[in-house]
Amino acid sequence: MMNLGLVSIGFLCILNSSTLGDISGSANQSNNLRYKGQRRSVPKFPLINVDGVKSNNGVVCLPDNYPFQDYDPMELKSVKTYSLKQYDESVPQGPSLIPEVDTVRILKKLSLQEKVGQMVHVHIGKFLGCDGLLNVTLAESIFEKYKIGGVYGSPVDMGGRWNIASPQRWANLTNTLQKIAMEKGSKLPFIYSLESPKGAGNIKGSILFPAPVNIGATFNLMHAYIPSQIVAKDIRAAGAHMIHSPSANLNVNRLWKHNYESFGEDPYLAGEMVYTTVRGLQGNYKVDRNRVAACVKHYIGYSGSKNGDDKEPRNIPYHKITEYHLYPFLRGFNAGATTAMLSPNTLNGEAVSSSRYLKNDILRNFLRFSGVVVSDWSEIKSMVKFGTAISPNWGIYQSFEDGVIDVSMSSDGFDFIDGIFDMLNRNAFSKDKIYTSVGRILQLKNDLGLFDNPYSNLGLIETVGSNQDIEKSQIAARESIILLKNENRVLPFHKNDKVVFIGPIFNSTRYMCGGWSVHRKEKSDLEGDSPYYGYGDTLEQAIEKIIGRKPTIFTGFDIDGNLVDDYTELGRHVHRADKVVIGFGEKSAGEANMLDLTESQISLVEYLAKLTSTPIVFLLMQNTPRIIDGIIKYADGILNVNLPGAYGGLPIAEAIYGSFSPSGRMPYTYPKSNLQTDLTYYTPVTSEYDPTFAFGTGFGYNEMVYSSIRVSNDVLFPGIPIKVTVSVTNNGNGPQLEPVLLYASQHVRNRMTPERYRLKDFKKKLINPKETVEYVFHLKAEQFQFRASDSQLYIEGGKITLTINAFTKNVVTKDVLLKIDLDFTDNQQITTGRDNKQSPQGRISNKRPTPHY
């Protein structure tokens, strides 16, 4: 607590505080920085000492393909609790349409070379020497020559010396580099961005949160907001200012290996989660210096890979793009997202980066996104790969025409700069496009306060890894655990039950985290769990904490599903046990081809089930749902924990032993076979929907009783919302967090066959034993607008069935009538169903999407 003063620094204090480090004599920053009106004081250059390898004298180059970077010897100094200064966040802040006067003033002072440099984000690896440390000579010459405006990535991705750098080392690195940029480069600070889909994993000790798929499963927006706020301050502690998150892609094919980055299959659920994540990351970012720029990605269609492979072309009908896939992006932009990233794929035959329709007509004009658009890693070059451009320079031309893409994020950004000049010399595009993009980029830097102080906020360093943040990760993990089957109340276990745990997931943290955790891609399994040392409890440790003795664990099969223990030996132990838990997992890189379990896994389950009468519980810890249809009959209990993160051990153990009642719900459809990999619940009514577990399913240990649905009016008119109320009673013995999901379905829709259901709203509340709680939803006629196959927006009147908790035993329904006097046409504005104030005023710009212009 004694550190509160340091942490709650408002921006005025930043400028005055002597706690932020010594003044460096060498930098003459009053020369370099240009400030907004009254903010003219010069920030002190913060110094933070780091131990370890110090200089390049007597350089020891790292071997090629250096497999094990050293662990950073810098210890964390995490405080137990902290508090940050709160700013008014009631209204979402977002990018302005045109740059402000003082931004324009800065823009005008830049040379063309300096402007072009602003449009490039270069990987930090480009500034490292052969020893894996910052090479000051090299960095100076790069900034001098190319006037780079942005840096991204973690050193460990590209030959860095340290496996995961401590916040201190990050601060030392980014501040040193920032000083170089301001002395040798364009004299403007660079923006630093990091990939942090579930915590600032690139920073040692920074809290790893449950994966977005788990956040979706909580059906509680708080768990999108709080982790994002924590990530933001950890990123700021490291001296970075932007993160490449959230993902607004829908989980529409279970084969896709990035599904854990997505909030689920439903556009509304994902949309609200994206909205809240952006709010959590950015807050009032124009004054709050503990917040960062969010980057909504990957626009658009990234998740729609047919076979799960990243390189596959995406083919998604445009009405599905407009009806489902765009919605989470729209919500991210409603929340004020400052940046967006283009998807590195083709969609319906066009490369997204070069498609004028997708970039200009849809992203800029229809969605009205006015922030900074960045390319994915080295994607500008991919126009050649996609065969849309004859050379990389023409790829640059295609990407940048219309001034739609503002930033090339690239590990070879220098080619891009040379290419831009080549294209300018050929008069391929006008300098105005560059002014527009650089205006957006500088405005973002201005809004983030970089012109006042671009350095790491050293006061935040001791908040990294705080207990307070660990608790937040655990609460989110608890609420994300989904109970899918519980025959004869096999769960929860009693502490003195004799339980045998089988599987490779019980003594590992990395399998709880999955890909993109502490490293960009999880490296070879050689590294094992070592990068996670010091993070949360493994399941084994957590179970021991709860039952007070060492649990009986057998590996059984390895993470690839190969048998490693003897059947008969396992059978003997299971036979003598009260319960057996079989834990299925997957490698943290999570590459899926098909959804099958291995023969050994299946036959082990069959063997144990036939040999013994010991109740079996499946524990599913995975990004890719493995087909369990053939063996589900042997399972008395099933818990799906997805990827609960580094602190997931204790929450899972607590769920198993009944410290709380699970409250997660499926954020995606769990397929029954490999023929259902792309099944979503919002199918047309005619199609079959019989997965192993439907979207939205899951229950708790307590018996819940639902009242019938009450409506304030059973006719729904445009402009007059109705109240939909349901009461829920907890007949169990413990408190229950109960999510209530409101769906609606139209019986008849002339222009487009109605979907079986569409989720319209959800709420999660705590209900104590014997207590009855009311859930009230406000439903609007406008929520029934839909896009027909011409991508236009329509609404049609008629009977609507409201359904609470579709696909569960607690389903209740009620019919209402939607009455539309005027047929909505494309003159109607798009509404989002939640806050119309934030809706874009745009309309789709052409009747039927056509690639011709």
Ligand X SMILES: *[C@@H]1O[C@H](CO)[C@@H](O)[C@H](O)[C@H]1NC(C)=O
Applying CB under 6 A, does 555 fall inside the site for ligand X? yes
Give the CA distances from residue 572 to residues 121, 494, 575, 666, 692, in Å, rounded to whole numbers and listed in that order: 59, 22, 5, 35, 31
- Three-state DSSP at 765 gives strand
Distance in Å, CB of 50 to ligand X, minimum: 5
Give the tokens for residue 841.
């005023």
Q: Which is nearer to ligand X, 324 or 557 (CB)?
A: 557
**Residue 793 in contact with ligand X, rule: CB under 6 A:** no
Stretch that binds ligand X, among 94-102, 129-137, 567-575, 644-652 (CB under 6 A): 129-137
- 486 touches ligand X (CB under 6 A): no
Q: Name which of 54 and 852 has its Cβ closer to ligand X.
A: 54
Total residue length of the chain: 853
- 528 binds ligand X, rule: CB under 6 A: yes
Residue, CB closest to ligand X:
129
Only one residue has tokens 């009147």, namely 797
Is 56 near ligand X (CB under 6 A)?
Answer: yes
The two tokens of residue 516 are 């993109």
Q: In whole angstroms, how close is the CB of 585 to ligand X at the nearest point?
A: 12
Count of H helices and E strands in the chain? 23, 27
130 binds ligand X (CB under 6 A): yes
- What is the smallest separation between the CB atom of 555 and ligand X, expressed in angstroms? 5
Residues 89-128: x/- map of binding to ligand X (CB under 6 A)? ----------------------------------------
Task: Single out the residue of 418, 514, 486 nearest to residue 201, CA to CA.
Answer: 514
Please pick, from the candidates 529, 544, 565, 596, the single residue that binds ligand X as defined by CB under 6 A.
529
Per rule CB under 6 A, is residue 507 in the interface with ligand X?
yes
Asked if 38 touches ligand X (CB under 6 A), the answer is no
**Residue closest to 166 by CA, chosen among 47, 290, 72, 70:** 72
Window 664-693: contact mask with ligand X (x via CB under 6 A): ------------------------------
Query: Which CB atom, from 508 or from 736, has the smaller least distance to ligand X?
Result: 508
Among 8, 17, 113, 176, binds ligand X (CB under 6 A): 176
Cβ neighbours for 613, distance < 8 A, ≥ 6 positions apart: none
The yes or no reply on residue 129 touching ligand X (CB under 6 A) is yes
**Of 166, 172, 322, 354, which one interacts with ligand X (CB under 6 A)?**
172
Which one-letter DSSP state was computed for residue 594?
A: S
Mention every residue, 6+ apart, whose C-beta is less than 8 A from residue 34: 102, 105, 106, 109, 451
Residue 135 interacting with ligand X (CB under 6 A): yes
Residues 247-306 that bind ligand X (CB under 6 A): none
| Stretch of residues binding ligand X (CB under 6 A), selected from 23-31, 101-109, 146-154, 633-641 | 23-31
Count of C-beta atoms within a 10 Å radius of residue 26: 8
| Shortest Cβ 130–ligand X spacing (Å) | 4
Q: Which is nearer to ligand X, 176 or 829 (CB)?
A: 176
Nearest distance in Å: CB 494, ligand X: 26
Residue 241, burial from CB neighbour count under 10 angstroms (0-12, 13-18, 19+): buried
By CB under 6 A, tell whether 391 contacts ligand X: no
Our finding on whether 613 is near ligand X (CB under 6 A) is: no
Does 31 contact ligand X by CB under 6 A? yes
Nearer to ligand X, 204 or 244 (CB): 204
Place of tokens 């990957």: 298
- Minimum gap (Å) between residue 49 Cβ and ligand X: 4
**Min separation Cβ 157 and ligand X, Å:** 17
Q: Is 10 in the site for ligand X (CB under 6 A)?
A: no
Q: Is 409 a residue that touches ligand X (CB under 6 A)?
A: no
Q: Which of 99, 94, 36 is nearest to 439 (CA)?
A: 99
Nearer to ligand X, 93 or 135 (CB): 135
Report the alpha-carbon distance of residue 175 to residue 180 in Å, rounded.
9
Contact by Cβ (8 Å): 382, 412: no
Residue 541 within binding range of ligand X, rule CB under 6 A: no
Dihedral sign of CA atoms 435, 437, 440, 442 in order:
negative
d(CA 21, CA 74): 18
Residue 176 or 598: which CB sits closer to ligand X? 176
Instruction: Give CA–CA dist 589/95, Å, rounded.
Output: 35
Distant-in-sequence, close-in-space partners of 696: CB < 8 Å, separation ≥ 6: 665, 666, 681, 741, 743, 759, 805, 806, 807, 808
Q: What distance in Å separates the CA atoms of residue 482 and residue 699, rounded to the nearest whole number?
A: 7
- Asked if 50 touches ligand X (CB under 6 A), the answer is yes
Residue in 185, 195, 120, 196 with CA at minimum distance from that of residue 381: 120
Q: In 426-500, where does DSSP find H-type helix?
A: 431-447, 467-480
Q: CA-to-CA distance for 283 and 433, rounded, in angstroms?
A: 30
- What are the structure tokens assigned to 496, written together? 């003195």
Whether the Cβ atoms of residue 530 and residue 479 lie closer than 8 Å to each other:
no
For residues 620 to 659, the per-residue mask of contacts with ligand X, x marking binding by CB under 6 A and - elsewhere, is ----------------------------------------
Rounded to whole angstroms, the Cα distance separating 332 from 418 reads 34
Q: Is 138 among the residues that bind ligand X (CB under 6 A)? A: yes
Q: Which is nearer to ligand X, 538 or 746 (CB)?
A: 538
Q: Given the rule CB under 6 A, which of 54-62, 212-220, 435-443, 653-661 is the region that contacts ligand X?
A: 54-62
User: Contact with ligand X (CB under 6 A): which of 4, 12, 59, 60?
Assistant: 59
Q: Which stretch binds ligand X (CB under 6 A): 41-49, 90-98, 663-671, 762-770?
A: 41-49
If one asks whether residue 131 binds ligand X (CB under 6 A), the answer comes out as yes
Amino acid at 255: L
Comparison of 282 and 508: residue with beta carbon closer to ligand X:
508
Q: Which is nearer to ligand X, 138 or 685 (CB)?
A: 138
Note the helical H segments in 19-111.
29-32, 101-109
Minimum CB separation of residue 239 from ligand X in Å reads 10
Return the number of the residue (47 or 104) whose C-beta is nearest ligand X: 47
Residue type, 671: P
DSSP state of 189: P
Residue 186's identity, in one-letter code, is S
Is the CB of 135 or the CB of 262 nearer to ligand X? 135
Of 557 and 743, which CB lies nearer to ligand X in the complex structure? 557
- Beta bridge mates, 763: 740
Cβ atoms of residues 331 and 364 within 8 Å: no
User: In this chain, which of 437, 508, 661, 746 binds ligand X, going by CB under 6 A?
Assistant: 508
753 binds ligand X (CB under 6 A): no
- Give the one residue of 18, 49, 90, 686 binding ligand X; rule: CB under 6 A: 49
3-state class (DSSP) for residue 739: strand
Closest CA to 52 of 155, 154, 172, 140: 172
Give yes or no for residue 562 binding ligand X (CB under 6 A).
no
Site for ligand X, rule CB under 6 A: 28, 30-31, 47-50, 54, 56, 59, 129-131, 135, 137-138, 172, 175-176, 507-508, 528-529, 555
